[in-house]
Amino acid sequence: MELFGIWVTAFLTLCIYSFLYRDNPFYRFAEHLFIGVSVGYGIVLSIHQGFIPFAWDPFWAAVKPFWPGIPREAGWMGLLKLIPIAMGLLFFGGLSPRHTWLIRYPSAILVGFGSGISIPLMLQTFIFEQTRGTIEPFAAINAGTLSPWGIVEAVLMVVGVVCTLTYFFFSVEHRGPINWLSKVGIGFLMIGFGSAFGNTVMGRVALLIQRVDFLLNDWLGTIF
Amino acid sequence: MRRQVPLVLCFFFGVTIILTRFSPHPFSQSFYEEVNSWALIIFPFAFVLATVTLIRSHVTRIRRRSEHWQYSFIVFAGLIAMVVIGVPFGPQHPVFEWLFNNIQVPMDATMFSLLAFFIASAAYRAFRARTFEATLLLVTAIIVMIGNVPIGDLIWSETSSVKQWILNNPNLSARRGIILGVSLGVISQSIRIILGIERSYLGGGD
Amino acid sequence: MLDKLMNIDRRIVFILVALAVIIPTKLSVNLPVSVSEPTQKLYDYIDDLPAGATIMIAFDYGPASLPELHPMARAVLKQCFEKNIRVIGLTLAADAPTLANTLMEEVAEENEAMVGEDYVFLGYRPGGTLVILGMGNSIASVFDSDYSGTALAEIPMMENIKNYDQISLLLDLASGSTTEGWITYANAQYDLRIASGVTGVLISQMYPFLQTGQLVGLIAGISGAAEYEDLIDTPAKAMKWINIESFVHLLIVGLVILGNIAFFIRNRQEE
């Protein structure tokens, strides 16, 4: 079974690499099989690891005390969980064009909760903490604990952050000093994007190396 | 009813959750915990829509005999095989795991590895030092690429240090500028959503 | 001649890339790696934890990122098992549970770690940030059982673990924006210490969080994984692959330089 698996894997890998020559039926076969299998996997995991623990189990726990023949252990409070289950069921409204508006109810709860929880936490994580990180080195300069090179880096960081923000600041026209700051900001952004590109290349090449390693050693290793 | 009630729900849950953040009272905390558990229950249902949309699009392709419509049968074959085994027997069934490990895993990794070829080709054709900004981008990319691999330090012993300095300093400043800008945008958008000014999540219609 | 060079068929570039991978794969090249500061920080943090401490590993990646993130997961798990640090595995990615569960079982077997005592894999729950927030109140309210269906109450190592208060570190192995989610919803809300291991695409955007200390440490792509293998003194796949990667990077840099030389010569000729 393991050997068969290696051959299936190798065949499908080569089907996908055939796209490098040109689009062809082998590639399309593999591509569509991949979509089907991955959606199937997602459905199974969503049922077993999502629906059952989050929807079915609370539903059963809520109605069980009222089921004939089962002793009443829990009180009426368990029935509260039926509200979100009913809200979730409204998503099925999306299956009929006339009832699509029903989706708005569960969506509104999720969006409202998500917005409410994210506002204070995003302020803390992304605004306060990042501003602190930019200013804090100057406290070290004041205390005399930062090396001359460290001071250069601290100043460079503030210049970089301010200039990058200036580039994204569209409320004033980019003229004169603002234009210069914005141009310096573009320079910093280019360095940021350049480093992102360099790192992305590393990531994609790693994927290729792993596949070639499989083909040369695991698959061809079964033949030679 | 169709628009006003969702707007009220969104406002109510948004504002009350913000308030719970500033109140350590047990009632406030248990309210927050209860609402979080509600959201967890609601969330998996949204997956139904995504799945049905995909199935519908392939059914439509077959019905209309669109280009390459025959391949939609392969989508269904893969999907049905996984569901027929996985739903009754669970995701730890050996056949289900075999299909995942020998079909989905290698194809997913191979699809993304194709990008290595396209990146190399695009870099050769389009990565040109036409302007000062483009040169900055190009030089940084080269330093990072060489600094990321062991051969970089063989070429010049400081390559990885220079790469690390770039990531720690100018890259950090640019990223921080982006983070500050984007998060200010997201926060203001969240406030607009709670106040009912931004309503695009309700979709079109009445 | 110059035009021919600049408009070379892309399939020739593809062949060159393939050769740059195939030839070094067959020759075994072994160059030393230099350990970067973010990787060293994470290693030291875990190394300083007392035996019996518990860390969480979030396997937030699917098969597409397996070659980059699996080697680092393997290296960190080995370090933890050798130091008797207990590991709780979980995932926010729907396509990750099989991969993560198999990997944890493999590394545990190699290091004689016992399921339920030294490690547990909780599996997947949908909801992303909701899952992160829910576990801050009670892990059992989100994961009432582990991936194999054993109730949390029956797992010995979970006996005294209620929420993040008993967790020394969360390591997020990410191929998407989950690390920001863990920082926002677990670190800011519940003071949980966060570290990250990310794919190449995400490396650059993690540095602002490293500087502020919101991230304890960072394993940066396949090079970070190779550094970690070096630190635990167990060279494996990442070490092998980063050496092969050297040749592909040299080829790509060479192609970029060649393309630019041709571009400048043609521009000069046109002038």
State pLDDT tens for residues C152-195. Answer: 999 999 999 999 999 999 999 999 999 999 999 999 999 999 99
Residue C148's domain is classified under what CATH number? 3.40.50.10160
Does residue A191 form part of some domain?
yes
Structure tokens at C199: 């794919």
pLDDT level of residue B13 (50, 70, 90 thresholds): very high
Domain count, chain A: 3
* Helices and strands counted in chain C (H then E): 12, 6
Predicted pLDDT of residue A175: 87
Does residue C260 form part of some domain?
no
Of B177-181, C102-106, C110-114, C263-267, give the lowest mean pLDDT range. C263-267
Contacts of B107 in chain A (CB under 8 A): 12-13, 16, 30, 33-34, 37
CB within 8 Å: A108 and B103: no
* pLDDT tens per residue across span A131-175: 999 999 999 888 888 899 999 999 999 999 999 999 988 888 888
Report DSSP state, residue C90: E
Predicted pLDDT of residue A81: 85
- B142 in C contact zone (CB under 8 Å): yes
Q: Which of A56, A74, A92 is the last residue of a domain?
A: A74
Are C123 and A49 spatial neighbours (Cβ–Cβ below 8 Å)?
yes
B44, B100, B167: residue with CB nearest C204: B167
Closest CA to C74 of C93, C87, C91: C87
d(CA A7, CA C157): 40
Does residue A138 form part of some domain?
no
Q: Which residues of A22-35 are buried (b: 16+ CB within 10 A; e: fewer)?
A: eeeebbbbbbbbbb
Are A14 and B56 spatial neighbours (Cβ–Cβ below 8 Å)?
no
Does residue A141 form part of some domain?
no
Does residue A124 form part of some domain?
yes
Residue A63: exposed, middle, or buried by beta-carbon count in 10 A (0-12, 13-18, 19+)?
Answer: middle
Predicted pLDDT of residue B206: 66
Domain span at residue C57 reads: 37-240
Does residue A142 form part of some domain?
no
Does residue C262 form part of some domain?
no
Does residue A68 form part of some domain?
yes
**Do residue A158 and residue A224 come from a single domain?**
yes
> Chains near B, with 3+ CB pairs < 8 A?
A, C
B87, B111, B167: residue with CB nearest A16: B111
**Do residue A28 and residue A60 come from a single domain?**
yes
Does residue A101 form part of some domain?
yes
Predicted pLDDT of residue A174: 82
Predicted pLDDT of residue B105: 96
Q: What is the CA radius of gyration of chain B?
A: 26
Domain span at residue A168 reads: 147-224
Q: What percent of chain C has pLDDT over 70?
A: 100
Domain count, chain C: 1
Closest CA to C134 of C61, C186, C77: C186
Of A39-48, A189-198, B56-65, give the lowest mean pLDDT range. B56-65
pLDDT level of residue B202 (50, 70, 90 thresholds): confident
* pLDDT tens per residue across span A100-129: 899 999 999 999 999 999 999 999 999 999
CB within 8 Å: B175 and C204: yes
CB within 8 Å: B37 and C141: yes
Mean pLDDT (chain B) is: 92
Residues sharing a CB contact under 8 Å with residue A178, sequence separation 6 or more, in sequence order: A166, A169, A172
Closest CA to C215 of B32, A65, A133, A63: A133
d(CA C248, CA A181): 38
Predicted pLDDT of residue A17: 97
**Mean predicted confidence (pLDDT) in C55-61:** 98
Does residue C156 form part of some domain?
yes
- Tell me the nearest-neighbour CA distance from A18 into chain C, angstroms: 12
